[in-house]
């Protein structure tokens, strides 16, 4: 028998939680042949110029991505994680943010970085190993690429908590993948974000594989977006190869967060058309037929078809974009090819703002080793 | 009026939050309850729920969000409720808190203080009495402080909060109730400086945190035997004040490291290595260690057999003097 005076704690839910469940079908606005479907919930609020820009950003992303793979094959990068096939997911979502908003990426977010005008050559220093990163996060509101899976979701959440405490109407968006939804940190991040009503967006690129492990072995959830309701977040889904859908769904999440209504989880259905990284051999776990089928969903061809149908695409635009993509790729190649590492003494420079007492003897040791090496070189 | 170490740390938190509106204090049960050891008592009432708040029960979440808050410009103090519960946060501490400033070439600063009540001797259940300091001291990018007196509890906490580098602040929980007549605020030596708590001529005892008092008791008892022990409180485990350690061994010629943590690869191993490298010709005896055993922390009824105490220290002193 229950005590009538006892009322158990209940979470603070002001809306019907069932609205947090993802819709049956992912939001999809453009077919592979470019046919556009009106969706009153996701009106097209982009100018012709912006539509072209989305296409241009995806094209540049693909070109730079290909250049990075080439650089790796030429021994210029130790490894590279391609985002080929995921351009619409990244570009559309990043494009929905305001310039003061922040992005907390994983290591596969070249497309999002290019939207943020991060120098792609700089990003690749991580893969070349000249340094662990090479961009100032505060200049682009683009955090360092995070390699441990899903850990960046917490940084985005903390950052967004800070913005809320500060009365600053910015939004933080973090990217992780289908594999990342199995790690603990994204779940802790969603728990915190839900409780704290942090203006954060969890953007999951479901590219079907965590290296070789397919989604079916990653989760038994009906969809990844169903996970959100457990944390009091709306779970949304979109066609991740439809740049207008990824843009529109993210835009709504941004507006929701900025209005103080809290975080959103978005699952973008996409496909990793390349290997996990250049060190991977996907022929061991997926078939040629599967790849051929996936190629039919290519996000870039789809957007080109859409623009063509609207008379927004012609030879002139094609040439202009081609030239820009090539120029960016050339810039990346010039910045990376045979790029030297810096002064080895820099190893000690950024470990502490106040390094006193930590490794003075080791600083002296390396300096002596370097002096010895250069003296030996002089003698030879 | 006497102040306990817990009160001294609490006062340091209050004064730091008063001095800088960017200082935040959060963790499990730190709000209304004031922390399970009451170290955050009154902070939420004074500074509001946006500056001192309870988090969901998730240690990785606490440290990961502290990193995000620090990136935004806050100066977070994150509490891990007990030593044995820091391990879920291990990845965030080791892979990001310690390394992100270096990864960013110094563009990202993470002025985060991680408060961890640590060590045994309070009759607790498993996971509540551990000494994980070697993990943190081994990790480049972290500073590791541990006070042995209420005065240091105050002053070193203020220094930790003001540091632009991440600091793991290990609070010796069995000394939370240790009292001092010192008026607060107080500024003691900078944390990186070891302090000689008792000067002596025969053997140096190197200790920190909860073992400072135990070492002083041992020195007192040793005096009855006619042995003069020097007690050096290390205070900072990263960086270690090698110069003060060497100087003490140069005075005494004998060194014993005392810590609760298990012996194997504990701080004692590092200190022994530094002493033999820096004071080899001054040594009259091998560097010895009076520590916990290389077993998991014992059940409460057996902890007195596990923890180093006055007898174990004096036994080491005797062995050292026998050389």
HSE, CB side, 13 Å, CA atoms: give it for residue B282. Answer: 22
Active-site residue, A285 included:
yes
* B9 to chain A, closest Cα gap in Å: 23
Residues of A in contact with B104 (CB under 8 A): 133, 136-137, 144, 350
Mean pLDDT for the stretch of residues B238-264: 98
Instruction: Pick from A160, A165, A180, A194 the residue to mutate for testing the B interface (most B CBs within 10 Å).
Output: A165
pLDDT digits (tens, 9 = 90+) for B17-68: 999 999 999 999 999 999 999 999 999 999 999 999 999 999 999 999 999 9
For B243, name the nearest residue in chain A, comparing CA atoms only.
A357
For B89, name the nearest residue in chain A, comparing CA atoms only.
A185
Residues of chain B with pLDDT > 70: what percent? 100
Q: What is the pLDDT of residue A379?
A: 73
* A320 to chain B, closest Cα gap in Å: 35
With cut-offs at 50, 70 and 90, classify the pLDDT of residue A380.
Answer: low
Q: What is the pLDDT of residue B127?
A: 97
Q: Residue B174 region, left (φ>0) first, then alpha (ψ -120 to 50), else beta? A: alpha
pLDDT at A215 over 90: yes
Structure tokens at A232: 């009091």
Residues of chain A with pLDDT > 90: what percent? 92
What sign does the CA torsion over A186, A191, A194, A197 have?
negative
pLDDT at A104 over 50: yes
Kindly list the residues of chain A whose beta carbon comes within 8 Å of any beta carbon in chain B: 104, 131-134, 136-138, 143-144, 146, 148, 151, 153-163, 165-166, 172, 184-185, 188-189, 191-192, 195, 346, 349-354, 356-358
Cα(A230)–Cα(A363) distance, integer angstroms: 50
pLDDT digits (tens, 9 = 90+) for B66-122: 999 999 999 999 999 999 999 999 999 999 999 999 999 999 999 999 999 999 999
B212 and B196 Cβ atoms separated by less than 8 Å: no
A263 and A200 Cβ atoms separated by less than 8 Å: yes
With cut-offs at 50, 70 and 90, classify the pLDDT of residue A378.
Answer: confident
Cα(A340)–Cα(A336) distance, integer angstroms: 9
- Rounded to a whole number of angstroms, the CA Rg of chain A reads 23
For B21, name the nearest residue in chain A, comparing CA atoms only.
A166
Mean pLDDT for the stretch of residues A185-200: 97
What sign does the CA torsion over B32, B37, B41, B43 have?
negative
Residues of B in contact with A185 (CB under 8 A): 60-61, 64, 91-92
Candidate from B60, B238, B242 with C-beta closest to A185: B60
Q: What is the pLDDT of residue A18?
A: 85
Per DSSP, chain B holds a count of helices (H) and strands (E) of: 12, 14
Short-list B267, B233, B72, B269, CA closest to B147:
B233
Residues of B in contact with A349 (CB under 8 A): 105-106
Mean pLDDT for the stretch of residues A85-110: 98
Cα(B302)–Cα(B192) distance, integer angstroms: 34
Cα(A107)–Cα(A303) distance, integer angstroms: 25
Residues of B in contact with A155 (CB under 8 A): 64-65, 67-68, 71, 96
Higher pLDDT, A13 or A354: A354
Size of interface A-B (CB pairs under 8 A): 139
Question: Under an 8 A CB cutoff, do A354 and B236 touch?
Answer: no
Q: What is the pLDDT of residue A1?
A: 47
Torsion of CA A153, A158, A159, A165, to 10 degrees: 150
State the average pLDDT for chain B.
Answer: 98
Candidate from A133, A188, A354 with C-beta closest to B104: A133
Mean pLDDT for the stretch of residues B156-182: 98
Question: Under an 8 A CB cutoff, do B65 and A354 touch?
Answer: no
Q: Is B127 on the interface with A (CB under 8 A)?
A: no
State the average pLDDT for chain A.
Answer: 94
pLDDT digits (tens, 9 = 90+) for B311-322: 999 999 999 999
ipTM: 0.97
Short-list B184, B228, B69, B85, CA closest to A155:
B69
Q: Residue B94 region, left (φ>0) first, then alpha (ψ -120 to 50), else beta? A: alpha
Residues of B in contact with A134 (CB under 8 A): 105
Instruction: Pick from B25, B61, B103 the residue to mutate for testing the A interface (most A CBs within 10 Å).
Output: B61
pLDDT digits (tens, 9 = 90+) for A262-318: 999 999 999 999 999 999 999 999 999 999 999 999 999 999 999 999 999 999 999
pLDDT digits (tens, 9 = 90+) for A20-49: 999 989 999 999 999 999 999 999 999 999
pLDDT digits (tens, 9 = 90+) for A124-139: 999 999 999 999 999 9
Q: What is the pLDDT of residue A13?
A: 56
Mean pLDDT for the stretch of residues B185-211: 98
Per the DSSP assignment, residues forming a β-bridge with A48 are none
Active site (catalytic) residues of B: 128
Higher pLDDT, A233 or A375: A233
pLDDT digits (tens, 9 = 90+) for A70-84: 999 999 999 999 999
């Amino acid at each position: 028998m229950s005590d009538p005076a006892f009322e158990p704690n209940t979470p603070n839910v002001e809306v019907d939680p069932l609205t947090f469940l993802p819709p049956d079908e992912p939001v999809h606005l453009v077919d592979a042949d470019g046919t556009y479907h009106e969706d009153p919930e996701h009106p097209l609020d982009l100018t012709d110029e912006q539509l072209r820009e989305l296409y241009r950003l995806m094209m540049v992303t693909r070109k730079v991505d290909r250049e990075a793979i080439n650089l790796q094959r030429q021994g210029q990068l130790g490894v590279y994680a391609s985002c080929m096939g995921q351009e619409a997911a990244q570009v559309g979502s990043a494009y929905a943010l305001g310039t003061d908003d922040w992005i907390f990426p994983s290591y596969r977010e070249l497309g999002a970085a290019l939207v943020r005008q991060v120098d792609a050559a700089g990003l690749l220093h991580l893969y070349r190993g000249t340094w662990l990163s090479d961009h100032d996060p505060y200049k682009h509101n683009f955090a360092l690429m995070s390699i441990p899976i899903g850990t960046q979701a917490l940084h985005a959440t903390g950052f967004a908590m800070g913005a809320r405490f500060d009365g600053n109407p910015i939004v933080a968006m973090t990217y992780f993948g289908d594999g990342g939804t199995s790690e603990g940190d994204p779940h802790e991040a969603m728990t915190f974000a839900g409780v704290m009503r942090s203006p954060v967006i969890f953007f999951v690129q479901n590219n079907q594989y965590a290296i070789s492990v397919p989604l079916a072995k990653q989760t038994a959830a009906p969809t990844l977006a169903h996970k959100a309701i457990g944390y009091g977040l709306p779970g949304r889904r979109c066609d991740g190869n439809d740049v207008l859908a990824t843009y529109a769904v993210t835009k709504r999440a941004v507006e929701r967060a900025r209005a103080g209504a809290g975080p959103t989880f978005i699952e973008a259905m996409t496909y990793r058309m390349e290997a996990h990284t250049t060190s991977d051999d996907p022929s061991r776990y997926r078939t040629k037929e599967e790849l051929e089928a996936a190629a039919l969903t290519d996000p870039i061809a789809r957007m080109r078809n859409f623009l063509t149908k609207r008379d927004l695409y012609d030879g002139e635009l094609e040439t202009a974009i081609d030239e820009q993509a090539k120029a960016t790729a050339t810039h990346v190649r010039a910045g990376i090819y045979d790029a030297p590492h810096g002064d080895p003494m820099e190893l000690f420079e950024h470990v502490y703002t106040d390094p006193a007492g930590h490794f003075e003897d080791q600083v002296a040791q390396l300096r002596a080793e370097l002096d010895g090496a250069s003296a030996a070189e002089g003698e030879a | 009026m006497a102040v306990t170490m817990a009160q001294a740390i609490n006062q340091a938190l209050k004064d730091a939050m008063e001095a800088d509106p960017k200082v935040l204090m959060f963790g499990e049960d730190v709000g209304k309850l004031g922390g399970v050891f009451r170290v955050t008592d009154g902070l939420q009432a004074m500074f509001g729920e946006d500056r001192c708040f309870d988090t969901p029960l998730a240690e990785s979440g606490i440290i990961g969000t502290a990193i995000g808050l620090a990136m935004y410009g806050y100066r977070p103090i994150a509490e891990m409720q007990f030593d044995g519960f820091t391990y879920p946060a291990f990845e965030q501490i080791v892979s990001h808190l310690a390394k992100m400033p270096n990864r960013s070439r110094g563009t990202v600063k993470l002025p985060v203080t991680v408060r961890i009540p640590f060590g045994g001797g309070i009759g607790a259940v498993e996971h509540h009495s551990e000494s994980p300091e070697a993990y943190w001291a081994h990790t480049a990018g972290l500073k590791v402080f541990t006070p042995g007196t209420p005065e240091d509890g105050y002053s070193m906490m203020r220094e930790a909060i003001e540091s632009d580098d991440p600091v793991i602040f290990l609070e010796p929980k069995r000394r939370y109730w240790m009292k001092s007549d010192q008026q607060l605020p107080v500024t003691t030596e900078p944390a990186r400086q070891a302090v000689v708590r008792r000067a002596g001529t025969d053997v140096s005892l190197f200790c920190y945190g909860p073992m400072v008092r135990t070492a002083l008791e041992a020195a007192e008892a040793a005096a009855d035997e006619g042995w003069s022990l020097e007690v050096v409180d290390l205070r900072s485990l990263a960086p270690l004040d090698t110069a003060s350690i060497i100087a003490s061994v140069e005075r005494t010629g004998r060194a014993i490291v005392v810590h609760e943590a298990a012996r194997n690869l504990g701080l004692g191993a590092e200190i022994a290595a530094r002493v033999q490298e820096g004071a080899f010709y001054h040594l009259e005896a091998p560097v010895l260690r009076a520590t916990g055993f290389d077993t998991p922390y014992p059940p409460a009824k057996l902890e007195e057999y596990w923890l180093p105490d006055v007898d174990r220290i004096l036994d080491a002193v005797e062995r050292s003097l026998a050389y």
